[in-house]
Amino acid sequence: MSIFPLINSLICAILAIFVLSRNARHPLNLSFSLGLFSLGFIEMANFIALRSILPLFWIRMARVGECLLPANWILFIYAFAKKDRQILTKDKLVISIFYATSLFFMAFSQREFFITPLSDFLFRIERLGYYFYLFLCFSMIFILSKLEGILFSSKGAVRWQIKYAMLGLGSIFASFIFITGQRLLYRTIDLHFIPIHSVIILISLSLIVFASVRRHFLDVDVFVSRYAVYTSLTVIFVGIYFLSLGLMGELARKLGIDLGYLWEIPIIFISVLILSIVLLSDTVKRKVRYFISRHFYKDKYDYRAQWLNFSNRLSNKFTASEICNATLELLSEAMYVKQLSIWLYDEENESLQIASSKGLAKVDFKVEHKDFISSLKNRPFILKESLKKENSKVYEENREFFEKARASLCVPMIVGDNFIGIIAIGPEFSGKGFIQDDFDLLTSIAAQASNALLNVRLSDKLIQIKEQETFHRLSSFIVHDLKNLVYTLSLSLQNARKYFDEPEFKKDLLDTISNSVSKMKVLMAKLSSAPRGLKINLQQIDLNNLINEVVDSTKLNSKDINIKKYFGDIPVIKADKEQLKKVITNLMLNALEANGNRGEIKINTYSRNGWVVFSISDNGPGMDKEFKEKYLFKPFHSTKSKGLGIGLFQCKTIIDAHKGKIEVESEKWKGCTFTVKLPV
């Protein structure tokens, strides 16, 4: 068993290297590695001490690692509990106190008044060493309470990612509380405890390795609420621990079993660890809740409590995404299902698009069958099995939706005549199907969520109207500025009749004209981007030739820019040549700026399903999902620091006037592709 400390030391070293290799400068990764270093240092010193003829030196070196243990793990806990991983000033004070205390004890850890030998395997803890172990015990309890707050503040997928890491770390710190308690009680360090303690640490490290490598627990954002801190259950679990210890000893005595003093330690910790894993299982919690609701209450749900809970959650949600996430969060906690999703109705494209999901793999498609959408608008709910029997054709057309969304039940979200979308509910885990209580809860929640989503939609429209007003007001300002420039030029012209022969006046006149022309160009560029009252002059156009013309006229081809054209065999279209040229120019210039005036731009043309399509792609920084969903094609919103956000707004206005479509595919740091579809 003396090999276990060495194994633990190697695991700590390998895991620390793995974490640092991902991002060595990140505060979270750095603090986690420091914690592993101190633990690995203790285990390596203990391993050498067990094999050394004179173990005193290595026992004292192990105390150095123990001195560093609290401060390093406190640093990790504070970094992990912050959403942005930034440690606040008040937190730095607490961390500084722990580090100062740890360094103080470490400075005297090699002295005689810290520990002294009694025999080869037994060492006496002197006065300063006694104070140190009091500090260590307090530190471990403090860290354990923080870990508990983090664990119980997390929910859903986040808890699934971190729970094994939190249990592993918690077990390590709990084992140190036990060992420290023994040392404070007997004021000795017994080397016989080291292999047993190392077994516990090995099991705990296995959980941490699993959480780090497979579940990437360091990548999640966790916010510890005050409620979680105030209602900490650490003290209760310490009480349960001592109660378990007493019951186990009494049971062994009655059965006449001699477990041996050393073997009590791993048995207790393994039992508590297994119990914790079971209690943290979402499946176990759901089954317990289901059993209690079914056998002890008249109704399956406490509707009043759920309504108040949902109202409270919606009170600080102001976007469609936040409302959808809050809705699914409540339903996943209240109902006995694992898969849920919300699909919002897009009036322009007459399709349902996924807005939020829980328990599903990535779903990226639209529900566009009008018969299915029409049936959703006219029924209070749709069960998959009922739809199979009643209208197998509609079911087969939408089989992909039911399979990928795991939808057993669809609940429409309707406010008056406004169809907002649907909530897709997965199968109930009990296998007994849905009952009236489920329908009542879903109807209530869907109605409340629909009202909130409609308010967001109306608010967005109001904001767009105000932005349009501001946009047109900007046009008026530009005209006013142009008027002032015209007046300046007119005044210069009048003076020229009198002073034109004077050399100095000629110089001033040229400067005035040059400045005015520069300003007018800027203003006219802004003004031309205000497509108000757009009129389309349709004519026969060869799109491939028009793109070549734009590329040649703007002189984009250069040594630094590689434009690749993949032209298909496309039919002639009817379009406004000048307006369409503006769209192509805008998209080309955007791609050029995104690439930093260098790199590669791809242009594709082809025909498909009655559309002539062209796309322009760059390999620039792209745009994030939030910008695409909220601000794309809206004036005054741009990813460029000096952009007005008018160019793409102009493009969409022109394409809409042609009864076409403009779409974008982009991810942050993965480039951008704009696709324009024009009717043949």
Check: CB of residue 430 under 8 Å from CB of residue 336.
yes
Pairwise pLDDT comparison (3 vs 637), residue with the higher score: 3
Checking if the pLDDT of 1 tops 60, the result is no
Checking if the pLDDT of 83 tops 60, the result is no
Task: Write out the two tokens for 234.
Answer: 């650490």
Check: CB of residue 55 under 8 Å from CB of residue 71.
no
pTM above 0.95, yes or no: no
Q: Which of 209-218, 304-313, 341-350 has the highest mean pLDDT?
A: 341-350
**The predicted structure's pLDDT at residue 284:** 60
**Band of residue 51 on the pLDDT scale cut at 50, 70, 90:** confident
The pLDDT tens digits of the residues spanning 645-654 come to: 667 877 888 8
**Band of residue 611 on the pLDDT scale cut at 50, 70, 90:** very high
Taking residue 678's Cβ as centre, other Cβ atoms within 10 Å add up to: 23
Contacts by residues 528-532 (CB-CB < 8 Å, ≥ 24 positions apart): 529/644, 529/646, 529/647, 529/649, 529/650, 530/471, 530/472, 530/474, 530/475, 530/646, 530/650, 531/650, 531/653, 531/654, 532/472, 532/475
**Band of residue 528 on the pLDDT scale cut at 50, 70, 90:** low
Q: Which helix (H) or strand (E) holds 409?
A: strand 409-415
Phi-psi region at 221: left, alpha or beta (left = phi > 0; alpha = psi -120 to 50): beta
Checking if the pLDDT of 527 tops 60, the result is no
Q: Which of 46-55, 104-113, 228-237, 557-566 has the lowest mean pLDDT?
A: 228-237
Checking if the pLDDT of 526 tops 90, the result is no
**The predicted structure's pLDDT at residue 226:** 38
Checking if the pLDDT of 5 tops 70, the result is yes
**Band of residue 243 on the pLDDT scale cut at 50, 70, 90:** very low
* Burial (CB count within 10 angstroms: exposed 0-12, middle 13-18, buried 19+), residue 66: buried
Closest Cα to residue 461, out of 347, 292, 593, 571? 347
Mean per-residue pLDDT, 515-524: 72
Which residues are registered as beta bridge partners of 413?
Answer: 421
Pairwise pLDDT comparison (40 vs 303), residue with the higher score: 40
Contacts by residues 230-239 (CB-CB < 8 Å, ≥ 24 positions apart): 232/145, 232/148, 232/149, 233/148, 233/152, 234/141, 234/144, 234/145, 234/148, 238/141, 238/177
The percentage of the chain sitting over the pLDDT mark of 70, rounded to a whole number, equals 74
Average pLDDT, the chain: 77
Checking if the pLDDT of 291 tops 70, the result is no
**Band of residue 533 on the pLDDT scale cut at 50, 70, 90:** low
Mean per-residue pLDDT, 304-313: 75
The pLDDT tens digits of the residues spanning 552-566 come to: 765 454 456 788 899
Domains annotated on the chain, with CATH? 4-235 (1.20.1070), 303-461 (3.30.450.40), 539-679 (3.30.565.10)
Checking if the pLDDT of 643 tops 60, the result is no
Check: CB of residue 406 under 8 Å from CB of residue 414.
no
**The predicted structure's pLDDT at residue 350:** 78
Residues whose CB falls within 8 Å of the CB of residue 245, separated by 6 or more in sequence, listed in order: 264, 268
Check: CB of residue 158 under 8 Å from CB of residue 220.
yes
Mean per-residue pLDDT, 17-39: 83
**Band of residue 236 on the pLDDT scale cut at 50, 70, 90:** very low
Q: Which of 123-127, 153-157, 184-188, 246-250 has the highest mean pLDDT?
A: 123-127
> What Cα–Cα distance (Å) separates residue 143 from each residue in 78, 79, 140, 232?
10, 13, 5, 12
Pairwise pLDDT comparison (560 vs 373), residue with the higher score: 373
**Band of residue 605 on the pLDDT scale cut at 50, 70, 90:** very high
Mean per-residue pLDDT, 207-221: 68
Task: Write out the two tokens for 326.
Answer: 């809050």
Closest Cα to residue 664, out of 616, 611, 601? 616
**The predicted structure's pLDDT at residue 383:** 81
Checking if the pLDDT of 221 tops 70, the result is no
Checking if the pLDDT of 488 tops 80, the result is no
> Using CA atoms, how far apart are residues 585 and 258, in angstroms rounded to an integer?
86
Checking if the pLDDT of 514 tops 60, the result is yes
Mean per-residue pLDDT, 174-192: 85
**Band of residue 84 on the pLDDT scale cut at 50, 70, 90:** very low
Q: Which helix (H) or strand (E) holds 664?
A: strand 661-666
> Using CA atoms, how far apart are residues 590 and 616, in angstroms rounded to an integer?
10
**The predicted structure's pLDDT at residue 225:** 44
First to last CA, the chain: 79
**The predicted structure's pLDDT at residue 239:** 46
Mean per-residue pLDDT, 153-166: 74
**The predicted structure's pLDDT at residue 227:** 40
